[in-house]
């Protein structure tokens, strides 16, 4: 089995900052998440109106993925075999709470399909797949904490079995005021070896 | 690469608390779907297949629980316990553990639920099941909409082939809740009659509940008598829409194509398709298109939603277990609710339960987010005894 995969690039969105490969590319203090992510999105000049319909988790995951994939200069006319392997702790609980609020009291009952569809964590994978035409492997996992070992094993498995040419993987967490995205791309290209220690080091960057 | 098998299995459902009883009910075309009128969960009456609470309580108490568990946890523990016991596998470091679910204990978000809100976290569900059985490894929770149950089998195989584990136990489950029903109802996707997958007069889905469990293993000895080998698996996104299936069946077509390639099989080698068949207009049509694109339209197929309703994150695993029994019993089970073809392409829906020599089957599933999964299984009976 080939274990010489590389971490090609990585992106963080946390603490009012967006960074690509360790360099801050957008920063804006004093904004709450909806304002922050909108400002970050605008700073990237990604013209994609569907962004505004997404829930918070999808916006966070979409923007981090968009920054990384844009950096790859993909040819969208061709099929890009990039798998998506995402994880978090809170699943889609932020939107789950919105749906619960809409059904909690029978005298104020307003469930909506536009909200309900986002009560699944993998919807953000669908959003990214649509934008980048990724007809690829998608999986969403839930862990108590960032699990580098699992991401490493599963990503290697997809690459070893030629299920994907590269894998976009990581952690996208949104709950209450807390948000954190750490995504990285694994392929044969790059300078950082794809191993557990490097994943943990980059995660903590 | 080493071979990987799906072996011991259990179903806790409206049609019984072990796989054999459930399969016997399906053979007799008994459905678990009943009309439920409960204004606390949905303003209008609806069809659902619910697990009998008293029977569940009795079965669960036999396991001498020391704490309070939610309904879903009781279902999952009762189901998984039987599989662990019959496999006689020691739960050491080489044994992995996967939970597949879409919403877990989502009812804990309800103000009137006796459990704390923390219970709604899927990682809590993982911890509770892990601790009950004293697994050495943490649960890997997969939550990938309605493909979760079948995707879990692909994930288990991948872990075994990466040599992380020798055996992986999977438990899948979702419960029927107001949360789920109100959501599907807002999509106007619920049928007010028992669902009729692929039928001209289909009017939408019923939601049901089950817990299903299997052992996935690399050990060709000590297998259950209905064990199957996993020959190929693939999961592909539609890259089209988050809540509607692709009109060309793109992701499902690619998933089946790639699973066949990995299995090194041709379409003529597939004896039976256990399809998704939710009985919504768009899903069933999409499946018929994808099946025709791959020239699988003559292969006998069914949807089991007419027996259990759509059991969400458990459906793929539940239907895989029935497929294993189908192969072992050499019987094609009727696709309940189907009379007249109601999709635009020809497909061979099983109208009547029929004996037939079977060797391989293809299991498919599709879900919100545009996800699709296909896995191909082969009967191993007589080969490894």
Tens-place pLDDT, residues B174-205: 999 999 999 999 999 999 999 999 999 999 99
Return the percentage of chain B with pLDDT > 70, whole number.
Answer: 99
Residues 111-140 of chain A with CB under 8 A from chain B are 111-113, 116-117, 119-123, 125-127, 129-130, 132-140
- Spell out which residues of chain A touch residue B232, defining contact as CB-CB under 8 Å: none
Chain pair A-B, CB pairs under 8 angstroms: 156
Residues 149-168 of chain A with CB under 8 A from chain B are 150, 153-154, 156-158, 160-161, 163
- Spell out which residues of chain B touch residue A102, defining contact as CB-CB under 8 Å: 182
* Neighbouring C-beta atoms of residue B316, cutoff 10 Å: 31
Q: State chain B's maximal CA–CA distance in angstroms.
A: 54
- Spell out which residues of chain A touch residue B239, defining contact as CB-CB under 8 Å: 129-130, 132-135
Query: What value does the mean pLDDT take over residues A124-130?
Result: 98
pLDDT of residue A74: 87
| Tokens 């909690």 -> residue | A104
Which among B187, B240, B262 has CB closest to A116?
B187
pLDDT of residue B384: 47
Query: What value does the mean pLDDT take over residues A193-197?
Result: 97
The interface predicted TM-score (ipTM) is 0.97
Identify the burial level of A149 via C-beta atoms within 10 angstroms of its C-beta, where 0-12 means exposed, 13-18 middle and 19 or more buried. Answer: exposed
β-bridge partners, B35: B47
| Tokens 């669902």 -> residue | B195
Query: What value does the mean pLDDT take over residues A157-174?
Result: 97
Q: Are B177 and B42 in contact (CB under 8 A)?
A: no
Query: What value does the mean pLDDT take over residues A4-11?
Result: 96
Give the start-to-end residue ranges of the domains of chain A: 6-203
Give A24 to chain B, closest Cα distance, Å: 30
What global pTM score does this model have?
A: 0.98
pLDDT of residue B198: 98
Report which of B98, B132, B311, B94 is spatially closest to residue A142, judged by C-alpha positions.
Answer: B98
Helix B122-133 crosses helix B71-87 at what angle (to 10 degrees)? 40
pLDDT of residue A2: 56
Cα A95 from Cα A122, distance rounded (Å): 13
When pLDDT is cut at 50, 70 and 90, the band that residue A1 belongs to is: low
Is residue B383's pLDDT more than 80? no
N-to-C CA span, chain A: 29
Instruction: Please state, rounded to an integer, the average pLDDT across all residues of chain B.
Output: 97
Taking CA atoms, what residue in A is nearest to B106? Answer: A96
Query: What value does the mean pLDDT take over residues B360-380?
Result: 97
- Cα B332 from chain centre: 18
| Partner-chain contact A120 B121, CB within 8 Å | no
pLDDT of residue B385: 41
Kindly report, residue by residue over A53-100, the tens digit of the pLDDT: 999 999 999 999 999 999 998 888 888 999 999 999 999 999 999 999
| Partner-chain contact A125 B142, CB within 8 Å | no
Is residue A178's pLDDT more than 70? yes
Kindly report, residue by residue over B3-62, the tens digit of the pLDDT: 999 999 999 999 999 999 999 999 999 999 999 999 989 999 999 999 999 999 999 999
Instruction: Please state, rounded to an integer, the average pLDDT across all residues of chain A.
Output: 96
Name the DSSP letter for residue B333: P
Q: Does domain A6-203 have CATH number 2.30.30.30?
A: no
| Partner-chain contact B179 A139, CB within 8 Å | no
Cα B118 from Cα B120, distance rounded (Å): 5
Helix A123-132 crosses helix A56-70 at what angle (to 10 degrees)? 30
When pLDDT is cut at 50, 70 and 90, the band that residue A31 belongs to is: confident
Residues 135-164 of chain B with CB under 8 A from chain A are 138, 140-145, 151, 155, 158-159, 161-162, 164
């Amino acid at each position: 089995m080939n274990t010489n995969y590389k971490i090609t690039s990585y992106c963080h969105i946390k603490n009012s900052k967006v960074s690509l490969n360790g360099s801050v590319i957008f920063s804006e203090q004093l904004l709450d998440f909806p304002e922050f992510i909108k400002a970050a999105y605008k700073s990237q000049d990604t013209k994609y109106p569907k962004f505004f319909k997404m829930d918070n988790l999808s916006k966070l995951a979409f923007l981090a993925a968009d920054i990384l994939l844009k950096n790859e200069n993909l040819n969208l006319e061709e099929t890009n075999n990039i798998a998506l392997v995402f994880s978090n702790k809170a699943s889609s609980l932020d939107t789950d709470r919105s749906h619960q609020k809409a059904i909690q009291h029978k005298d104020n009952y307003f469930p909506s399909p536009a909200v309900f569809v986002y009560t699944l964590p993998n919807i953000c994978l669908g959003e990214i797949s649509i934008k980048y035409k990724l007809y690829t492997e998608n999986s969403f996992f839930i862990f108590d904490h960032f699990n580098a070992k699992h991401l490493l094993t599963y990503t290697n498995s997809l690459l070893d079995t030629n299920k994907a040419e590269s894998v976009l993987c990581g952690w996208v967490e949104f709950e209450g005021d807390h948000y954190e995205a750490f995504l990285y791309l694994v392929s044969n290209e790059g300078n950082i070896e794809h191993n557990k220690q490097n994943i943990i080091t980059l995660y903590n960057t | 690469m080493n071979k990987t098998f799906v072996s011991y299995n259990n179903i806790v459902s409206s049609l019984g608390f072990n796989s054999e009883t459930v399969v016997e009910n399906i053979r007799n075309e008994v459905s678990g779907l009943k009309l439920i009128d409960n204004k606390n969960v949905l303003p209008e009456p609806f069809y659902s297949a619910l697990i009998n609470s008293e029977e569940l309580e009795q079965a669960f108490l036999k396991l001498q629980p020391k704490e309070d568990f939610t309904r879903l946890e009781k279902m999952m523990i009762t189901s998984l316990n039987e599989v662990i016991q019959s496999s006689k596998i020691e739960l050491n470091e080489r044994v992995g553990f996967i939970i597949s679910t879409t919403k877990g204990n989502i009812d804990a978000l309800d103000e009137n639920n006796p459990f704390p809100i923390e219970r709604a976290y899927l990682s809590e569900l993982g911890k509770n099941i892990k601790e009950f059985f004293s697994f050495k490894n943490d649960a890997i929770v997969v939550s990938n909409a309605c493909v979760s149950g079948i995707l879990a089998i692909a994930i288990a195989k991948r872990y075994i082939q990466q040599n992380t584990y020798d055996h992986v136990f999977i438990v899948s489950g979702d419960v029927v809740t107001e949360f789920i029903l109100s959501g599907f109802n807002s999509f106007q996707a619920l049928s007010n009659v028992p669902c009729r997958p692929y039928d001209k007069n289909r009017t939408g889905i019923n939601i049901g509940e089950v817990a299903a469990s299997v052992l996935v293993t690399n050990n060709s000895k000590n297998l259950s008598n209905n064990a199957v080998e996993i020959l190929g698996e693939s999961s592909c996104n539609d890259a089209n829409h988050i809540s509607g299936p692709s009109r060309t069946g793109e992701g499902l077509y690619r998933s089946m194509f790639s699973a066949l390639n990995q299995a090194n099989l041709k379409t003529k080698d597939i004896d039976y398709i256990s399809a998704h068949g939710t009985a919504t207009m768009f899903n069933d049509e999409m499946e018929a298109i994808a099946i025709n694109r791959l020239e699988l339209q003559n292969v006998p197929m069914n949807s089991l939603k007419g027996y259990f309703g759509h059991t969400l994150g458990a459906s793929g695993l539940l239907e895989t277990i029935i497929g294993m029994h189908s192969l072992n019993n050499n019987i094609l089970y009727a696709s309940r609710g189907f009379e007249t073809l109601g999709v635009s392409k020809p497909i061979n829906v099983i109208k009547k339960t029929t004996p037939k020599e079977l060797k391989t089957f293809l299991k498919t599933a599709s879900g919100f987010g545009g996800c699709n999964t296909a896995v191909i299984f082969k009967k191993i009976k007589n080969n490894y005894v």
